[in-house]
Amino acid sequence: MNLDINGRIAVVCASSQGLGRACALELARAGCVVVVNGRDATALEQTAQEIRAETNAKVIAVAGDVATAEGQLALLAAVSHVDILVTNNGGPPFRDFREVDRTAMLAGVVANMVAPIELIQRVIDGMVSRRFGRIVNITSGSVKMPLAGLDLSSGARAGLTGFLAGVARSVAHANVTINFLLPGSFDTRRLRSSMEVAAIRTGTALEAVRASKQTAIPAKRFGEPSEFGAACAFLCSGHAGYITGQSLLIDGGAFPGVL
C-alpha cells in the first residue's frame, strides 16, 4: 500500500534501537525524511546509516535526551517543520512501588508524560496551519493491563493518554491526529534484558523463562518490531485521517478484555 506520506518530515524519538527504530525504518521506507534520536551518538549514527542503506531515505541523526528542553529544541532545529511526530522514551525500571521516592516519581512523569506533551505543544500549531499532522505516542500495554512493579510507567503513560484525549478532538478538524500504540511483549533488547534478570533472580534457565512468557501469550510468540513499525506507519499515513484519540494495543492477544 502507498501510505501517501512520501516527502513528509517525521521525527521519531528514542529511535536508535527497538520499537522506535522499527517505526523510523518503516517511515523511511514510506518515503519520509526521518529524524532519528537517541542519547548514545555512536549507536544513533550507526542506526541512521543502516536505515539510509536499506531505504535510500534522508535520515538525520540528532543525539540528545528528549526529556530535556535542549534535546527537544535540537530535534526540532534539525528540520524546517514536522509533519509526523512519534514520541517514545524508555520507561522507569521495574521496582516495588514502596521503593519509588519523590525524585524517581518526578523523573518518570517527566520522561513519559511531560516530555511528549511538550514536544506536541511545540509542533501542533504548525500541523494545524498546514492541515496535516500525525502524532503517535508509544506508551505501553500496561496502560490497559497494569503490572505490579511497573506502576510508575503505567501511571505516567496513562496520564499522557488522558491528557491528550481532549487535545486529539480539538485538532481533528485540521487533519491532525493523535493516537497511541501500546506494545505488549516484543522481541527487543529491553525484553531480552528483563528475561535475563528474571532468570538470574529465580535461578531458572533463560530459555525456560522465555518459553514460559511466550506460552502465556495467545499468539505463542513475541511480537516482531517490524510488525509494530508497520502499525505506526499506517497511523502516520495519509489514509488514517479518520482515526484519532485511539489506543491500539499490540500484544498478541495477551490482554483478556473486550475493550
Residue 214's alpha-carbon distances to 12, 52, 199, 209, in angstroms, are 29, 33, 15, 9
**Does the pLDDT at position 108 exceed 90?**
yes
pLDDT at position 31 is 98
- Tens-place pLDDT, residues 62-77: 999 999 999 999 999 9
**What are the cell numbers at 206?**
533463560
**What are the cell numbers at 59?**
535520515
Q: pTM of the full predicted structure?
A: 0.95
What is the rounded distance in angstroms from the CA atom of residue 11 to the CA atom of residue 24?
8
pLDDT at position 189 is 86
Q: What is the DSSP letter of 197?
A: H
Three-class secondary structure of residue 135 per DSSP: strand
- Tens-place pLDDT, residues 45-58: 999 999 999 999 99
- Tens-place pLDDT, residues 150-194: 899 999 999 999 999 999 999 999 999 999 999 999 999 888 888
**Does the pLDDT at position 259 exceed 90?**
no
**What are the cell numbers at 4?**
501517501
What is the rounded distance in angstroms from the CA atom of residue 64 to the CA atom of residue 192?
25
Superfamily (CATH) of domain 9-186+226-250? NAD(P)-binding Rossmann-like Domain (3.40.50.720)
What is the rounded distance in angstroms from the CA atom of residue 13 to the CA atom of residue 166?
23
- In single-letter form, the type of residue at position 224 comes to E
pLDDT band (50, 70, 90) for residue 198: confident
pLDDT at position 186 is 95
The answer to whether the beta carbons of residues 198 and 157 sit under 8 Å apart is: no
**What are the cell numbers at 197?**
534478570
